[in-house]
């Protein structure tokens, strides 16, 4: 027999999916990944080296040991020297696995040993300025992450991270619906955008917003894809529909490249 909590959670899920334009059966059946996007802010190359050693030697291997097969580590193509950043994308099959990961790491001796320089840094010798953490849930239209099928050299690849902010929660729901029910996700797939993920932000500093990442062999390949997208008949029809107007108030576009040890 379901508990009162489970019943309320199920009802909430159905209502949420209804708002996104999806059926109740889809709401109950869908198994969508949760994503953690960590942004390390730092100021010096010394800090950068410590963060990267920690990620490469401790964090990524530890994630692999607990069954997280693919972890993405990225840097901006153009760093802001006043606020340098490293982006770490970690996908979790369930929310419980996401919230329980820190406890698991504390019980991993190999992780604690290999990450000692970072984990046990002194308060006067910190490896970063701050860490920004964003929690996301995958769209029904793409319920899990994907490793891109690219042919170009890894060093030349362009990973495009986009954040679409909306004026209100209602407009944000509308834009999410546009991706799913309106099949903007399907359009990206048809045009070969090699998406890593599409997601709604459930905790972050720029809400209400959604985020997604697409990938390309190089910058020229990226520009060609977006030109094709802009001229696509389905996109012109979809974007002109009255019900999808004014659902994005601000967009951030960040060009990234993968670290050598990134799984994506």
The percentage of residues in the chain with a pLDDT greater than 70, rounded to a whole number, is 89
Whether the per-residue pLDDT at 8 is higher than 70: the answer is: no
**For position 76, which CATH number holds?**
3.30.70.100
Nearest to 41 by CA among 76, 70, 91: 76
Total number of domains constituting the chain: 2
What pLDDT shows up at residue 95? 97
Measure the CA–CA gap between 129 and 48, rounded to whole angstroms: 11
Domain holding 221, by residue range, is 31-258
Strand runs (DSSP E) across the chain, as ranges?
34-42, 72-76, 84-92, 130-138, 158-165, 195-203, 209-216, 250-258
pLDDT in tens, 136-154: 999 999 999 999 989 888 8
14 within some domain: yes
103 within some domain: yes
pLDDT in tens, 75-126: 999 999 999 999 999 999 999 999 999 999 999 999 999 999 999 999 999 9
Coil vs helix vs strand at 207: coil
What pLDDT shows up at residue 30? 61
What pLDDT shows up at residue 225? 98
What pLDDT shows up at residue 22? 47
What pLDDT shows up at residue 151? 87
Shared domain check, 68 and 13? no
Shared domain check, 22 and 129? no
Shared domain check, 145 and 36? yes
263 within some domain: no
Q: How confident is the model at residue 3 (pLDDT cuts 50, 70, 90)?
A: very low
Whether the per-residue pLDDT at 185 is higher than 50: the answer is: yes
Measure the CA–CA gap between 37 and 59, rounded to whole angstroms: 14
264 within some domain: no
Shared domain check, 68 and 16? no
Shared domain check, 64 and 2? no
Residue 157 C-alpha from the chain's centroid: 17
Query: 183 has which bridge partners?
Result: none
Whether the per-residue pLDDT at 7 is higher than 80: the answer is: no
77 within some domain: yes
What's the per-residue H, E or C state across 136-156? EEECCCCCCCCCCCCCCCHHH
pLDDT in tens, 29-67: 469 999 999 999 999 999 999 999 999 999 999 999 999
């Amino acid at each position: 027999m379901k508990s009162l909590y489970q019943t309320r959670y199920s009802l909430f899920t159905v209502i949420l999916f209804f708002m996104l334009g999806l059926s109740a059966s889809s709401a109950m059946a869908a198994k969508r990944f949760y994503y953690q996007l960590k942004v390390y802010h730092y100021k010096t190359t010394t800090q950068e080296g410590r963060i990267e050693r920690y990620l490469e030697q401790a964090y990524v291997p530890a994630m692999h040991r607990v069954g997280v097969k693919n972890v993405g580590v990225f840097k901006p193509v153009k760093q802001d020297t006043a606020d340098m950043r490293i982006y770490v994308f970690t996908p979790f099959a369930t929310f419980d696995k996401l919230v329980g990961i820190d406890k698991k790491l504390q019980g991993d001796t190999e992780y604690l040993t290999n990450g000692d320089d970072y984990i046990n840094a002194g308060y006067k010798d910190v490896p970063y300025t701050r860490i920004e953490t964003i929690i996301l849930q995958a769209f029904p239209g793409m319920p899990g992450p994907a490793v891109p099928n690219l042919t170009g050299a890894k060093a030349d690849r362009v990973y495009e991270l986009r954040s679409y902010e909306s004026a209100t929660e209602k407009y944000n729901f509308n834009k999410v619906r546009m991706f799913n029910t309106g099949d903007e996700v399907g359009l990206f797939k048809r045009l070969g955008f090699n998406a890593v993920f599409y997601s709604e932000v459930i905790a972050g500093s720029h809400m209400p917003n959604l985020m997604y990442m697409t990938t390309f062999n190089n910058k020229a390949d990226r520009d060609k894809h977006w030109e094709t997208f802009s001229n696509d008949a389905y996109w012109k029809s979809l974007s002109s529909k009255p019900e999808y107007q004014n659902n994005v108030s601000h967009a951030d576009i960040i060009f990234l490249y993968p670290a050598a040890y990134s799984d994506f």
